[in-house]
Structure 1
Amino acid sequence: MVVSSAKRRHGISGDREHNSSGEAVAGLAARKAAARLLAAVIDARTPLDGLTDQENGHPQYKALDLRDRALVRAILVTALRYRMTISGLLARRLEKPLPPNATALSHILHVAAAQILFLDVPDSAAVDLAVTHAKSDPRTARFSGLVNGVLRTVARAKQDELAAARAATDEAPKWFSDRLKTVYGLDKARQILLAHRHEAPVDFSVKSDPALWAERLGGFVLPTGTVRVEKLSASVTELPGFGEGAWWVQDAAASLPARLFGDINGLRIADLCAAPGGKTAQLILAGAHVTALDMSKTRLARLTQNLERLGLAAEIVQADLLKYEPKDLFDAVLLDPPCSSTGTVRRHPDVPWTKTAADVEKLADLQRRLLARAVTLVKPGGRIVFSNCSLDPLEGEELYRDFLAGNFVDDPLRPGEIAGIDPFLTPQGTLRTTPADLELGSPGRSGLDGFFAARMRRAG
């Protein structure tokens, strides 16, 4: 199927829940957790990463053992990545659409259908657990027969109907699909949406000798110097080089903004909105004296842990950038502010379902204010790099174009200036990547997160 072998699980898990008769049912707790978390994503627009955080995640998720947590996350990622296909196949089996208040029933059906259509779970196990789940919930108990009938017909029809159902949808909510088509044109938008259907490879920024680490990790070196691995052989913490701090996980596109400064050896640079610290690490390794600033104490704790593992040091400051007053101005600043994250859908398929067009506009306004503050922290003549992982020009190209005025001058990137980035340069000298870029022969090897980056100088 379409889910990596690392995420495949058997239909019967180690958890124990009870049915309406009080009998223990293996696997039921995991399915209940999956449906509950799917509801949090779809109905409450709660980001999936927070819900499935190993330490601070949803209580129902944390109550599961590690194996069942992995199963729940695999179900959720699959249910979100293929939500429109699943919705279409379920709708064909219903005499009429589910009422708006039947969200609990809808989530039970989606969790089961994701397993039947895309995961290596026996159809019978997925159906039986969904029926038991429906019976155990007063909101859905009377629909248990419908659950059984719909899911069994989905299972019987999947070989004949799945390909056509996938071809009939953009696999995205309308606001997101329409926006991509408006911005990128029909063909490019379709390429981006197709890329979102595939799990992204894992990219590593290495301290030194990319070729060596590509061999040790079982990957290859991209033109930008990033090491890419299509499928991991173990968890990240178990891979060679983790304990010694030889590398960190960082999408190839996310590694580009820090390289736009050029030679920074000996310079004082502020990495604003710095957590989790990938760009901070790059700047330190390039010889800069780095101040890493972030508003979140929790995110700074993660940044500190990451730098400690890598054996790197920075001045770490917890502060609101809009109120931050450094003692001295910096030689350069890097701002990668909060954004809609629409460039990361391959890794985070919940993003289109937890964001709206209004969120994009709101975040663009926040970025504009943060950028206006960030540029005041750099010395005259110093460089400012602005970047984010959004696909929307409202947060990238348009924001940057509108900002260039007063005492700040464009500092466009030049072809051949930085190894490997020429394919992503715009005619204006800014950087733009999308998941449809960097074609390397197969979806598992290709693509980048969607990123925008631009460079300017403070006049004087």
Structure 2
Amino acid sequence: MAQQNTHRRGRARPPKTAGTDPRAIATTIVDAVCEAHAPLAVALEAAAPAAGRLEPRDAALARAIARVTVRRRGDIDWCLGQLMNKKLPRKATEVRSVLRMSAAQLLFMRQADHAAVNTAVALLKATSGGAGFAGLTNAVLRRLIRERDTLLERLPLEANTPAWLWQRWTRAWGEDTAGAIAAIHREEPTLDLAFAGPDVPRPAGAVALPTGGARLPVSDVTAIDGYGEGGWWVQDAAAQLPALALGNVAGKRVLDMCAAPGGKTMQLAAAGAMVTALEIDMARAERLRENLARTRLGERVEVVVADAMDAEGEFDAVLLDAPCSATGTMRRQPDVAFAKTEKDIASLAALQGDLLRRAATCVVPGGTLVYATCSIEPEEGERQAAWAVKAIPELALRPLTEGPAAAFVTPQGIMRTLPSMSIGEERGMDGFFAARFERAG
């Protein structure tokens, strides 16, 4: 379950800066994510009313600046650290946010230098807590302009990855692969779609994916025609693989244990399954119902607001896309990089084990269980599957040898994707793990 339990608690702060410059709104979003630990999607939604008062072009610029700042946060902090003799006071949140937002433009967006600097100074002068840092900000940003090329040449590959994650990835996957993952995390991702049926028209310019979905060279869903018709939804190519690993589900009773936001639920319904979709959060369950109504797949799905740990019943197949650290989604959700700690992985792995035990009780003899996470941490994937084989005797590993998931199978018969991999001819995808089990008869 890619979206659940992936962030520390945090809410987007209301705008603290006045004015109609898109950089003011971008600063608000950056402050909410980097200082208040709000998810980027939540911060963008909270800023939408203010952005709506701008011209569409300026609103798009505000969102773009915010996304680039959050995506390149580690790189930005490294560059700023080379230019400042000491760190800003912890309480100087507005100053940090303005500096980060401005540096993102100067380093990675090549916005007009004078506009970025002048607006930064004006924003700080308009606040009570930042006015005293306006001169420092001006000096740092002007020095950044002078030394920009040198700083970018010296920028370490691992600068944009928290040190604890970089160390884990080099141990698990090797330094070259860790570097490839870090590199692709710096890039704005393309948009992947899944479809409600084979006859749904593909948007212009879409590239077909082995999953039956498609990829578009844009990241803004509002730029695509056909959303209202309900023929497709946004879903990363790797996230489409676990449901496909269940095989032919037409006419079968399938339990989706951790359903929201609903991409896999809709996949299963589109494939002809009768789906029971569990979701513990009422608001997320309602959004799932809205998506099912839009795609006209609701007749095949029963949405139940309940804890997956209380799941019961007998199903031909169970899909457990478990709550996880979501480190495989950082290409699309860059705020995840700084929203987790290493301690989170151990606690989530324990929860995943409990959910696997519960899932096993819901599969009929001879039925199929697919366990998946959008994590690239072995504790939440490879080690969890090995544990399940030993700890849950009624489950036997059934190697993935067919379908699109087989392209990413390991010698152990389990699926592993990494963000730096390609699917078909297309480079980049979420990091996902999936293991398929069969319950003994």
Q: TM-score, normalised by structure 1?
A: 0.85
Deviations 1:172-211 (A, max 9, x none): 111111111111111111111111111111111123448x
Quick one: which of 143, 155, 158 aligns to 1:166? Answer: 155
Residue equivalent to 1:39: 31
- Structure 2 CA distance for aligned equivalents of residues 107 and 126 of structure 1: 13
Q: Spell out the pairing of 1:27-426 with structure 2 (5 A cutoff).
A: 27=21, 30-53=22-45, 57=46, 62-65=49-52, 67=56, 69-158=59-148, 160-167=149-156, 169-209=158-198, 213-214=201-202, 216-231=203-218, 235-237=220-222, 239-313=224-298, 314-325=301-312, 328-404=313-389, 405-415=391-401, 417-418=402-403, 420-426=404-410
1:247 Cα deviation from its structure 2 partner: 1.6
Q: Distance in 2 between matches of 1:72 and 1:198?
A: 18
- Please say if 1:447 is aligned against 2:440: no
Shift of 1:307: 1.1
Aligned-pair distance for 1:411?
A: 3.1
Opposite residue 74 of structure 1, the aligned amino acid is A
Letter in 2 for 1:339: C
1:389-409 CA distance string (max 9 Å, x none): 111111111112112234333
In the alignment, is the contact (CA less than 8 A) between 2:242 and 2:405 conserved in 1?
no
Letter in structure 2 aligned against 1:63? A
Instruction: Compute the displacement of 1:101 (Å).
Output: 4.2
Measured in 2, the distance between the counterparts of 1:217 and 1:300 equals 32
RMSD: 2.4
- Taking a change above 3 Å as real, the CA distance of residues 359 and 71 of structure 1, as seen in their structure-2 partners, is farther
Tell me, yes or no, if the aligned pair for 1:205 and 1:250 is still in contact at 8 Å: yes
CA distance in 2 between counterparts of 1:401 and 1:155 reads 52
Determine the C-alpha separation between the residues in 2 that align with 1:251 and 1:356. 24
Is this contact kept in 2: 1:202–1:251, CA < 8 A? Answer: yes
Cα distance in 2 for partners of 1:399, 1:69 equals 44
* Unpaired stretches in structure 2, ≥5 consecutive residues: 1-14
Structure 1 pair 103–236 and aligned structure 2 pair: CA distance change class (3 A): closer
Deviation at 1:450, TM superposition (A): 0.3
Task: Provide closer, same or farther for how the CA distance between residues 220 and 109 of structure 1 changes in structure 2, counting only shifts above 3 A.
Answer: same
Aligned to 2:11: none
> Is residue 205–residue 247 contact of structure 1 (8 Å, CA) maintained in 2?
yes
Q: Residues 376 and 433 of structure 2 are in contact (CA less than 8 Å); yes or no, is this contact kept in structure 1?
A: yes
Asked if structure 1 preserves the Cα contact closer than 8 Å seen for 2:260 and 2:284, the reply is yes
Runs (4 or more) in structure 1 with deviation over 6 Å come to: none
Cα deviations by residue, 1:58-79 (Å, 9 ceiling, x for unpaired): xx55333264554333222211
One-letter amino acid of the counterpart of residue 411, structure 2: P
Task: For residue 250 of structure 1, report the CA deviation from its aligned partner.
Answer: 0.9
Q: 1:17 to 1:268 in 2, by over 3 A?
A: closer
* 2:8 match: none
- Counterparts of 1:151 and 1:279 in 2: how far apart (Å)? 45
CA distance, structure 2, for counterparts of residue 169 and residue 16 of structure 1: 33
> Structure 1 stretch 160-169 or stretch 246-255: which is displaced more?
160-169
Alpha carbons of 1:277 and 1:151: their partners in 2 closer, same or farther (altered >3 Å)? same
